[in-house]
Amino acid sequence: MTPLSFEQAPPFSVPLRFFLTAPCFGVAAGLTLAFRWEAVTATRWAPDAVAAVHLLTVGFLLQVMAGALLQLLPVAAGANVWRPRLVAGVVHPLLTLGAVALAAGFLGVGAYAQRAAAGLLGLGLGLYVVVALVALLRSPAIGPTLLLLRLAVVGLGVAAGLGVALAALFGWGLSWPLFPLVHAHVAWGALGWAVMLVLAVATLVVPMFQLTPPYAVRTAQALGAGLVGGVSAWSAGLLFELDVLRWVGAVLGGLGVAGFAVHTLRLQAKRRRKVTDTTLWFWRLSMGCLLAAVGLWAVTRLGQDGDALRARGEWVVGALLFVGAFPAAIHGMLPKIVGFLGWLHLQRVMKRPPTMQQLMLEADARRTLVVFVVALALVLGAGVWAPLAVPGGVALALSFALEGWQLARGLSRYRAAARSAGEASHRTSAGEVRTSQEPGASAPPPPGTS
């Protein structure tokens, strides 16, 4: 594992703005599912369903991952990002407004919203990918994490390019082939970007926070190769209309996803810290959803196109990934990351800063876990009986709201500790000045003298 360089960490505000915005989109996705449940559950191609998915992927997942990566690159990969405060200040509003416009376009606002989304997301993600990739390519570090991060950023670039092309297709009514673009976009977004980045981050945070053995270097490299090889073969099969390449891509991608989940669960079973906290349960839930999604997707391939049972299975696979696996991993990582970053910045100004557990309370995380599990069960049940999407959507929105509340409370504790440290420093400085001016004390030299 590459040694962590915490002195290169960017200002806390750089990732925090992304982290605090993300839960709002999760709430919006849950409410979309609850209030438009008939359309969302009818077919995964319904505009309302696509809007809900993109509120989760572009609004929630991308916000968190983009913020985490700006923090992770210099610390874990020795990749110094060019002017991170400026990059965050430009990219964050572009991604936020772009996600709003994209969802609004699918929810019926019109083609102008899709055009705005194409421009905003194209600019924001284009800048982000270039800055991140340049930093990674210039990094002198070695190890599997750096390779996986590079692959993840490339995957984001491909997924973003395909997504912007699709937004332009809807916005301007272009005659590009819709279904190949959609399938390639989903594959690169889910496996080439999301799973790849979760794998890269897992090689760092799982051993560090859960005290597991490290990921084996060759295993991590093989998993990354399986993921990128799978999505590449799948995309080539779509482009050249070769079923054999699509099957090769499906097998490689499925093995990469399943291998990652199984390997992570095995490492967690060997952890040195035997206390089972909320983070561990979120990770286990995430890995379980990944395994279930791979297995169910393989079963759906046995059915015929247009078959109702296959359509229901594909809907559940989407729910396992975008409602279950990815949000669960982020729910498990985000409080730990924010708590750790808060402690990291406070220990520079305090002798005894609050611990991670004092900044981000375990009780708050448990409440989020309970509500999230209920929401996931209801949403998956909606694949069998659609009206369950109403309470499922409400519960999902509540789980994201609870996470946002947890982050806000943790930030409040961080600011209170920072204020107390500043006040203590001011009192100490004032006391030193008064002591130096007491009778018998030597006066400070005037400016300009030695």
Residue 189 lies in a domain: yes
Q: Is residue 403 part of a domain?
A: yes
Helices (H) and strands (E) in the chain, counts: 17, 0
pLDDT digits (tens, 9 = 90+) for 281-335: 999 999 999 999 999 999 988 776 667 788 889 899 999 999 999 999 999 999 9
CB neighbour list of residue 248: distance below 8 Å, 6 or more residues apart: 230, 233, 237
Q: What is the CA radius of gyration of the chain?
A: 24
Residue 429 lies in a domain: no
- Is position 381 within any domain? yes
Q: Is residue 443 part of a domain?
A: no
Buried b (16+ CB within 10 A) or exposed e, 2-21: bebeeeebbebebbbbbbbb
CA-CA distance, 195 to 294, in Å (whole number)? 12
Distance CA 103, CA 55 (A): 6
Q: What is the reported pLDDT for 441?
A: 46
Q: What is the C-alpha separation between 85 and 95, in angstroms, rounded?
A: 15
What pLDDT is stored for residue 399 in this prediction? 97
| Residue 428 is assigned to a structural domain of this protein | no
Boundaries of domain holding 196: 6-422
- Residue 268 covered by a domain: yes
Give pTM, 2 decimals: 0.91
Q: Quickly list H helices, 107-143.
A: 111-138
pLDDT of 220: 95
Structure tokens at 174: 């272009």
Segments of the chain with pLDDT less than 70:
1-7, 304-306, 423-450
Residue 154 CA, distance from chain mean position: 16
Q: State the CATH number of the domain containing residue 73.
A: 1.20.210.10
Q: How many separate domains does the chain show?
A: 1
Determine, yes or no, domain membership for 437: no
